[in-house]
Amino acid sequence: MLQLIVLIPLILAADVGTAIGVYGFALPWLLPVFGLVNLPFVVGAFREFRLDLPTRRNHALEHATILYLEANSGRRFSGQAERNGFRVAGHASVKDIKAAFDRVRRVVQSGEHLSYISPRCGSNIVTALGFGLGLLLLVAIGTVLFHPPLPVRAGALIAVVLLFVGLRRGIGNVIQRRWFTAVDFETVYLRNVRPARQELYERGPVHFVETLVQPKSAAPSHSALARRGTN
């Protein structure tokens, strides 16, 4: 993590005042470097937090389908959700993808617990980067403002590393569940699985899985069905 390498000399400096002067001189060069390094994080965060509800539902279906594919084949897959379905990148046949989605559909239909949280999701990476950068900047700002003794700064840096390692996955999973996925569907259907053009960031053959999702809010209630039956 480049941010850690750049900020460690400031946090652990024997003379914080001198270090602040050096960093102030180097700031015009450091800011563009930080901007370039954090550009993927900023772009990823902007994209992920703009997911609408249909895309979040397909995001959960994408994860669940890929989890079944990986469990059956032992291979790694990646995906990307869209409003009307999701992409699956990896060496899987149309038959394999249809079988995996059918398992997801049956779990949803039966009301069983659906496994859809993925620790390798891009949202978890974005969350981990933001969490780690926030903790690191907190220690750096505290160093600049209060000039605490070196043992205090070293202890804070170790605590940041331990917190990052220990909590990044759990926090990422919670945020993924709350903000980036949605499982409020009553029923899900598979419309089509077709080959798709491979993007630069994708590995292996790519298929687009077109879905039809009926959310619970749109499902007819029992009373509505009864009224329909009496008319």
Q: What integer is the mean pLDDT of 149-165?
A: 94
Q: What integer is the mean pLDDT of 166-194?
A: 94
Please check the confidence at residue 3 and state whether its pLDDT lies above 80: no
Q: Which residue has the higher pLDDT, 116 or 26?
A: 116
pTM, rounded to two decimals = 0.82
Q: Is 76 exposed, middle or buried (0-12, 13-18, 19+ CB in 10 A)?
A: middle
Q: Are 56 and 180 in contact (CB under 8 A)?
A: yes
pLDDT band per the 50, 70, 90 thresholds, residue 229: very low
Domain boundary among 141, 162, 179: 179
Q: What integer is the mean pLDDT of 69-82?
A: 95
Residue-level pLDDT at 30: 74
Q: What integer is the mean pLDDT of 57-84?
A: 96
Contacts of range 13-22, beta carbons closer than 8 Å, 24 or more positions apart:
14/150, 16/143, 16/144, 16/147, 17/147, 20/144
pLDDT band per the 50, 70, 90 thresholds, residue 226: very low
**pLDDT tens column, 131-152:** 988 999 999 999 999 999 999 9
At 138, list the tokens.
């907190």
At 218, list the tokens.
């749109």
* Domain count across the chain: 2
Question: E strand or H helix at 81, and its extent?
Answer: strand 78-82
Domain boundary among 147, 162, 179: 179
Domain extent at residue 32: 2-47+121-179
**pLDDT tens column, 24-49:** 888 777 777 776 766 665 665 556 56
Residue-level pLDDT at 127: 85
208 CB neighbour count, 10 Å cutoff? 18
How high does pLDDT run on average in the chain? Answer: 87
Same domain, 29 and 111: no
| Phi-psi sector, 90: left (phi>0), alpha (psi -120 to 50), beta | left
Please check the confidence at residue 124 and state whether its pLDDT lies above 60: yes
Same domain, 34 and 138: yes
Percentage, residues of the chain above pLDDT 90: 65
Same domain, 60 and 172: no
